[in-house]
Amino acid sequence: MVAIDWRALAERRLSRLTEVEHDIAVARDRLDYFQANYRTLLQQSEERLRQIQALERELDELRTARARARGALRRWILALPQRAKGLIRAMLRVALRLPLARPLARRLARLFPGLGNRLRASVNASQPTP
């Protein structure tokens, strides 16, 4: 029969238990460290998400403003011919009243043939009848 040295066995088990407890303590410290880092990263990601959402709202506002500006620019460009006609008519009216500017009125009438009849009618209407 083999004699068992209980004291040595108890010391080995106690030292192993101490090692395991130390390993558990180290693992708990690492877990606490990782949890703290996780919480920090989670807070940072939530803050970044809020920033992204604010930027998306600002981008939507800018897109809306751009669409409004495009519409206004398009309306302005489409209205240019009408404004040009009005400006030309006003210039012709002024030119018809000034004898020195009548050559300019003739040139404008040549550039815009459709206005020739109107120009003649305006000249005839502005001249006093004898």
Quote the pTM value: 0.48
Average per-residue pLDDT for the chain: 85
Tokens of 118: 């109107």
Mean pLDDT of 3-13: 90
Concatenated DSSP letters for 46-78?
A: HHHHHHHHHHHHHHHHHHHHHHHHHHHHHHHHH
**What digits encode the pLDDT tens for the residues 33-53?**
999 999 999 999 999 999 999
Per-residue pLDDT tens digits for 59-102: 999 999 999 999 999 998 898 888 888 887 777 777 667 777 67
Structure tokens at 56: 């998306």
Q: What is the mean pLDDT of residues 116-121?
A: 65
Q: What CA–CA distance (Å, rounded) separates 22 from 93?
A: 103
Question: In the numeric block, which tokens belong to residue 42?
Answer: 């989670």
Asked if 102 and 95 touch (Cβ cutoff 8 Å), the reply is yes
Domain boundaries of the chain, sorted by first residue: 11-125
